[in-house]
Amino acid sequence: MSVRVRVAPSPTGFLHVGTAQSALYNWLFARHQGGKFFVRFEDTDKERSKKEFEEEMTQTLKWLKLDWDEEITVVSNNLPRHQEMLSKLLSEDKAFYCHHTKEELEAERKEQEEKKLPPRHVCGFKNNERGKEAGGIVRLKVDETSDRIIAFDDAIRGKVEFKQSLLGDFAIGRAADDPLYHFAVVVDDVDMKITHILRGEDHISNTPKHILIYEALGFSLPVFAHLPLLLGIDRSKLSKRHGDTAVANYMNDYLPEAIVNFLGCLGYTFSKEIISKEEMVQEFELAKVHKSGAIFDVQKLNWINSQWIKKLSPQEFKQKAGLPQIPDIVVPLITERLEKFSDAKEFSYLWQQPEYDPSLLKWKKGELSDAKSALEKVLESFKDISWDKETLKAKLDEIAGGDRGMVYWPLRAALSGKEKSPDPVELSLVLGKEEVIKRIDIAVKKLS
C-alpha cells in the first residue's frame, strides 16, 4: 500500500506550533515510507476562515521546508462532492433532518450538564416522516440502543474503544448543501485516498464519529494515529497564555532547522539531540511516537537554536542576523554565545565603541583608582607586546599578581562596556591591537 498522508489545518489563524509538529510527523512518515504528503485547508468554519491565513500557513510550511507533493487543496472547493454525499445518505435513510430549534438544543445540553449525563442528542425526528422533510440540521442516524463498541487500532496508542450508544445522532451538515467539518473531512480524505490519518490526540473523540460516517458511505477505513499534544509549563494544553504559539512569532529569531529539530524531539526520541529532518526521516517509526505530551520549553528551543547557529558560515550568519557590515572575525565570538538572532545586538561592542558608566570599571573588591592603575599598566604593556593568546594572558597575569579580577575585570569592561562578555584575552584578539589600545585609553580618561 502506497502511503498517503495529509495535514489539514483550519485557516482561522496563524499556523500553530502544534499543527506544525503534526505536519512534520506526517511529512517524516511519508518520506520514510516513500509515500506522499499533502496539505489541505479545512475552511468549513466560514466566519473565521481567511485567505490571508491560508497564505501565511503556506509560507510558514515553506519556511520549515516541509515540501508537499501536489497543489494545496481547499475544502470549500469540493462542496459539490460533499453535497452529493450528503444527499446519498439522506436518500438511503442513513441521515435525516433535525427540526429542533437552537433554544431546544441548548436547553437539552444544559440539562445533561446539570445531571452529569454524556452530551448527546437522540433526535425524535430520526424515525418519523418529519425527519425526511428538507430543512434544518442534517444528522447521521445512530442507534442509541446498540451495545456496539466502536474500536480501532491506533498506530500509536493501540486499541481505542467507544460506546456507540453515547454518541447520539450527531450533526454532519448545517443543511443539505452545507456540510460540517466531521462530514467534509471524511469525504475529502476518501477522495484524496488518504491511507493514514496522523493528527492530534484532541481528535480521538471525533474518530468514532468519523468511523460511522466512513461506514455509512461504504468506504474503507484508513489507519488512525493520534499524536501527543504540546503542553505548557504547567502541563496543560499549550495556549496563548503560555506565550507565543504561532510559528510566525519564531521566524525572525530562530532557524527553521532548529524549530523542526525541537518539534521533532518533543514527541519522539531520536538517536541524538541535534538532528536534521533528513536524518529524522531515516529513523522515524510511527509506533515509536510518544503517547504522552511534552512541554514546549522555550529554554530548550533556545539551546537547540544556538547549536544550529554555530553551524552557520560567517556570511550566512551575517545575512540571517541582519548584520552584513560586521567583520568575519567577530562572528565566532558571537555564535559561540548566541541563542536568538535578536540578541546579536548585545554584541555590538565587537564592531563599535561601547558606551558605559565609569563605575562599571570598578572591580568588586577595589576602588576606581585601582581600576585606573591597572588599566594604565595594561595600556603601557600592550603598546609593545606580541599579539597572541599566550603572551597576552601571561602579561595580564603578571600585572594582576595574586588578584586576577583587579586587572581582568576593568579590562573586559573597557573593551565591551558589559558586565557579562567574553574573556578579555579573546576580545583583544578579535578587536585587534590598535582598537584595544584605543578603548583602554578611553577608559583611563573616563577615570581621570
Residue among 65, 70, 72 nearest 51 (CA) = 72
Domain that holds residue 285: 1-71+228-311
276 and 295: one domain? yes
Q: Is 277 helix (H, G, I), strand (E, B) or coil?
A: helix
Asked whether residue 84 is assigned to any structural domain, the reply reads no
371 and 440: one domain? yes
Per DSSP bridges, beta strands 73-74 and 95-98 are unpaired
439 and 407: one domain? yes
399 and 324: one domain? no
The pLDDT, as a whole number, for residue 254 is: 98
Predicted structure pTM score: 0.91
Give the contacts of 13 (CB within 8 A, at least 6 positions apart). Answer: 48, 53, 246
Cell numbers that stand for 122 in this block: 437522540
The pLDDT, as a whole number, for residue 57 is: 97
Supply the DSSP string of 347-416, one letter for each residue.
GGGGTS-----GGGG--TTS-HHHHHHHHHHHHHHHTTS--SHHHHHHHHHHHHTT-THHHHHHHHHHHH
The pLDDT, as a whole number, for residue 260 is: 98
Q: Bridge partners of 225?
A: 198
Position 170 confidence tier, pLDDT thresholds 50, 70, 90: very high
Compute the average pLDDT of residues 129-141.
Answer: 93
How crowded is residue 43: how many other Cβ atoms within 10 Å of its Cβ? 22
Q: How far is CA 10 from CA 57, 165, 319, 338, in A?
A: 10, 30, 33, 35
322 and 304: one domain? no
Per DSSP bridges, beta strands 171-175 and 178-179 are antiparallel
Asked whether residue 167 is assigned to any structural domain, the reply reads no
- Reported as a single tens digit per residue, the pLDDT across 314-360 is 999 999 999 998 999 999 999 999 999 999 999 999 999 999 999 99
Report yes or no: 289 and 225 within 8 Å, Cβ to Cβ.
yes
Please say if the pLDDT value at position 302 is more than 80: yes
CATH number at residue 19: 3.40.50.620
Asked whether residue 156 is assigned to any structural domain, the reply reads no
Asked whether residue 126 is assigned to any structural domain, the reply reads no
Number of domains in the chain: 3
* DSSP H/E element including 230: strand 230-231
Please say if the pLDDT value at position 1 is more than 80: no
388 and 441: one domain? yes
369 and 295: one domain? no
Position 119 confidence tier, pLDDT thresholds 50, 70, 90: very high
Compute the average pLDDT of residues 47-66.
Answer: 97
- Reported as a single tens digit per residue, the pLDDT across 390-422 is 999 999 999 998 899 999 999 999 999 999 999
Q: How far is CA 193 from CA 31, 66, 76, 197, in A?
A: 17, 20, 18, 11
Mean pLDDT of the chain: 95
- Reported as a single tens digit per residue, the pLDDT across 203-256 is 999 999 999 999 999 999 999 999 999 999 899 999 878 778 999 999 999 999
The pLDDT, as a whole number, for residue 194 is: 98
Please say if the pLDDT value at position 185 is more than 90: yes
The pLDDT, as a whole number, for residue 204 is: 97
Asked whether residue 344 is assigned to any structural domain, the reply reads yes
Position 154 confidence tier, pLDDT thresholds 50, 70, 90: very high
The pLDDT, as a whole number, for residue 365 is: 80
Compute the average pLDDT of residues 31-46.
Answer: 96
How crowded is residue 62: how many other Cβ atoms within 10 Å of its Cβ? 12
Compute the average pLDDT of residues 45-56.
Answer: 95
Residue among 338, 337, 339 nearest 298 (CA) = 339
The CB-side HSE value for 6 (13 A sphere, CA atoms) comes to: 25
Residue 5 CA to residue 54 CA, distance in Å, equals 19
337 and 382: one domain? no
- Reported as a single tens digit per residue, the pLDDT across 270-299 is 999 999 999 999 999 999 999 999 999 999
